[in-house]
């Protein structure tokens, strides 16, 4: 792809002069889950796009501090979008390969404190304390 092909969609990365290794990266589009310590809906209505991690030889240990270093400039980079369609449109316009990871929806089981004291015709449970 050099930008001279006929078609309705030309990748912006081709025209912008972005590095070739950026064009070969696969992007993941997903909706992040809320952390376990939060209640409510956490404003979790946005979608995020990040890139896969480079595997071979792009990490090394810093000899001074012992920290892990990386040559991967996209490792901590992510983009936020309002909708899944916006993220897909952006990835297509940039010419990225991408996949969409659908979110797992929460199943809320209705519970009531009064259900702990309902009568059941079974035998009583004896719970030893020692």
Per-run averaged pLDDT (10 residues), the chain, 130 residues: 56 68 81 77 80 75 82 83 94 89 85 85 81
Radius of gyration of the chain measured on its C-alpha atoms: 25
Whole-prediction pTM: 0.65
Distance CA 81, CA 52 (A): 18
- What local confidence, expressed as pLDDT, does residue 54 receive? 75
> What pLDDT does 1 receive?
46
For residue 71, give the nearest of 14, 17, 19, 27 by alpha carbon: 19
């Amino acid at each position: 792809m050099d930008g001279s092909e006929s078609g309705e969609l030309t990748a912006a990365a081709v025209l912008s002069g972005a590095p070739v290794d950026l064009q070969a990266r696969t992007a993941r589009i997903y909706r992040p889950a809320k952390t376990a310590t939060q209640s409510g809906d956490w404003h979790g209505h946005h979608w995020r796009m990040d890139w896969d991690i480079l595997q071979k030889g792009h990490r090394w240990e810093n000899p001074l501090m012992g920290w892990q270093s990386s040559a991967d400039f996209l490792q901590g980079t992510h983009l936020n979008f309002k909708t899944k369609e916006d993220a897909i449109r952006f990835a297509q316009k940039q010419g990225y390969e991408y996949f969409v990871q659908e979110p797992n929806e929460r199943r809320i089981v209705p519970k009531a404190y009064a259900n702990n004291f309902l009568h059941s015709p079974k035998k009583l449970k004896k719970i030893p304390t020692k």
